[in-house]
Amino acid sequence: MFSIEELAAALFKSHGITTGLYQIGCSLRFAGATMSWQRFGSDGFFPTALVGIEAIGLKPADKPGEMVFDAAELLKPKPVEKKRVSPAKRKGPALSPK
């Protein structure tokens, strides 16, 4: 699973967007059906709603808000922490104290 921030970053990268505010939106497709719910412990058939995501896209935004992301902030390189390696795990010749 991807977070909504990861999805926004992937969309920015795939479209070459590096700056600006953009809102993520999606097109939904709705359907209805009559389905059996026996595997969930119910007998018979019941009306059922189905919702599918048809498309996901970006729309320029004027101000921060719901589902609005700043491309420059999301794509900013994250600082890399230096890991401290214990002497026992270091590769190379062992150093002897002098």
Q: Is residue 68 part of a domain?
A: yes
Total structural domains within the chain:
1
> Is residue 86, in this structure, part of any structural domain at all?
no
Structural domain of residue 50, as residue ranges? 4-77
> How far from 24 is each of 14, 19, 41, 60, 68, CA to CA, in Å?
14, 15, 38, 9, 7
**Residue 12 · residue 75 · CB < 8 Å:** yes
- Residue 85 covered by a domain: no
Tens-of-pLDDT digits for all 98 residues of the chain? 889 999 999 999 999 999 999 999 999 999 999 988 777 777 788 889 999 999 999 999 999 999 999 999 999 887 877 777 666 666 666 555 65
Q: What is the pLDDT of residue 80?
A: 77
